[in-house]
Amino acid sequence: MNKHFDCNNSDDFVIMTCRGELCPNKAVELRSVGGDQRQYISYEEQLKKLCAENNINLLDLLIQIYDKIMRDMLVRGNNVPLFKTKVNSVLKQWSNTPDYDDFFTIPSRETDFNYDDVGACNVGNSELGERMKELEVLVANDSDNLYHTVANLQSDCKRMDDDIGSCLSDLDCLSDYGPRYSNVLLDLSTKPKSFYTLMDDETEGIRQMVYHKNFRELPESLPEIFSNAVLIPNMITKESEHIRDNLRNLRGNIRDKQHILKDLSGNIPERRQLMEPLKDFFRSLMESSGEESSDEEPSDDEPSDDESEMGATPGNAPAKTLTPGELKDIEGLLDEVVEETGKSVSELEISEREGKLSEKTDKTGDKPEAELLKLAKKQQGGEFELSFF
């Protein structure tokens, strides 16, 4: 192992892997500062440790390693023609295998996968969960904002579902990072460096000097490099599948929320209509009284409309005014009506209506009988009987 590189440095870790000094199928040796203590951990464990310490996601680091392995191979083939020739001789032993340059070409991607988008989806799902909990408070308080809150949550859930779908689509582009021609790469990894540097017996003189100079660019760990070209893409596939499973779980969670919100929206009115029981009650009485008055013609014993409005009764007797007891009876009946409509009548409303009644009595000397009939009563033999239906 090259002692100039540090396994605890992410950049050095990438270089050492691309040079074949570190392999996913071998333990990583960590030494103390004094060099007197050694610790061995798995390649994957050390990789995850570096990601945590340097705020790097595992998938990006693995892709970085794989891309460098392939680029380095292209550089070696260009700088050492004999090495390229030897590798091509192995490639030809396999059917449907491209030549050297195409074999080590980095996969082209139309869209780069952004790992930060996965983190944003996780955060967004957590926020939606917290907002869903707040719905319980709104429902308990019968809030007027419940409908609009549910509508906003539905919109955010739809947007989050679309974002997750985009992440899954971008993740599919990493399928090209699956171990390509793994059988061929494993075959190349079985051959030592001497196979790739073996010269013909006829090579001599200056040609042999050039070959020896070029061979210095080839590391001793060529078999490990070819092996890493298989193992690293396999780790990329494993990590991408792990991310895909997380995204699918997130999408399932979001769609569960959408089903709940859909059921809620179907049972919540967009705008709650306020009920006015007192106003509706008096309007119905006035309409019914108006119909009865129009159906009956005034007789000699009954007052005309003009006389009724002036407070006259048969025989020009003064109209009977409401007593405190009768007012109390009316208040009680109004309370019952309010109770049935789910509303309550405040004492202030009752007192205001009593004030209006007394005010009209003061102005006319007594309460007009027609007004009383429109409110709640019918005159029968000088006695008043309450009737609402």
Q: In three state form, how does the secondary structure of 225-252 look?
A: HHHHHHHHHHHHHHHHHHHHHHHHHHHH
In the prediction, which pLDDT does 205 show?
59
Is residue 319 domain-shared with residue 215, that is, in the same domain? no
Choosing from 265, 285, 306, the residue where a domain stops is 265
Q: Which H or E run includes 379?
A: strand 377-380
Instruction: Give yes or no: residues 221 and 94 share one domain.
Output: yes
Question: Would you say the pTM of this structure is higher than 0.75?
Answer: no
For residue 354, is it within any domain? yes
Q: Is there a domain that residue 270 lies in?
A: no
Largest CA distance in the chain: 150
50 & 68 share domain: no
The pLDDT of residue 203: 52
Q: Are 120 and 41 in a shared domain?
A: no
Contact 225, 219 (CB under 8 A): yes
Query: Environment class of residue 195 by beta-carbon count within 10 Å: exposed (0-12), middle (13-18) or buried (19+)?
Result: middle
Residues 35 and 113 in one domain: no
Note whether 375 and 388 are within 8 A (CB).
no
**Residue 238 to residue 95: CA distance in whole angstroms:** 28
Low-confidence ranges of the chain (pLDDT < 70): 1-5, 33-35, 109-111, 142-143, 200-208, 210-211, 269-389
Within a domain: 112: yes
- Phi, psi of 310, rounded to the nearest 5 degrees: -85, 0
End-to-end CA distance of the chain: 101
Q: Look at residues 284, 368, 381 and name the one whose alpha carbon lies nearest to residue 322.
A: 368
Tell me which residue of 341, 337, 340, 361 sits closest to 350, measured CA to CA: 337
Question: What pLDDT is stored for residue 7 in this prediction?
Answer: 81
Do 80 and 198 fall within a single domain? yes
* Overall residue count recorded for the chain in this entry: 389
Would you say residue 159 lies in a domain?
Answer: yes
Q: Please give the pLDDT value at position 213.
A: 73
One domain, residues 290 and 252: no
Residue 209 · residue 215 · CB < 8 Å: no
Look up residue 372 and give its two tokens. Answer: 């009383």
Residue among 93, 339, 113 at smallest CA distance from 247: 113
pLDDT of residue 345: 43
What is the rounded CA–CA span in Å between residue 27 and residue 29?
A: 6
The helix or strand, by DSSP H or E, that contains position 40, with its residue range, turns out to be strand 38-41
Alpha-carbon distances, residue 353 vs 90, 92, 320 (angstroms)? 105, 104, 19
Any domain includes 272 = no
Of 56, 75, 90, the domain-final residue: 56
Q: How many domains does the chain have?
A: 3
Q: Report the SS3 class of residue 384.
A: strand
Q: Are residues 222 and 308 in the same domain?
A: no
What is d(CA 97, CA 90) in angstroms, rounded to the nearest whole number?
A: 10
Contacts of 93 (CB under 8 A, 6+ apart): 187
Written as six digits, the tokens of 263 are: 């059921």
Q: Are residues 84 and 223 in the same domain?
A: yes
Tell me which DSSP letter residue 129 carries.
H
Q: Quick check: is 150 in a domain?
A: yes
Q: Does the residue 305 lie in any domain?
A: yes
| Domain of residue 151, residue span | 61-265
CB atoms within 10 A of CB 1: 13
Instruction: Indicate whether 149 and 196 sit together in one domain.
Output: yes
Position 46 in a domain: yes
| Per-residue CA distances from 309 to 306, 364, 367 (Å) | 5, 10, 10
Task: Identify residue 215 by its one-letter amino acid code.
Answer: F
For Cα atoms 87, 91, 94, give the angle at the middle one, nearest 5 degrees: 155
Residue 30 shares a structural domain with residue 124: no
Which among 265, 298, 333 is the end of a domain? 265
Amino acid 384: pLDDT:
45
Indicate whether 282 and 242 sit together in one domain.
no
Q: What's residue 75's pLDDT?
A: 93
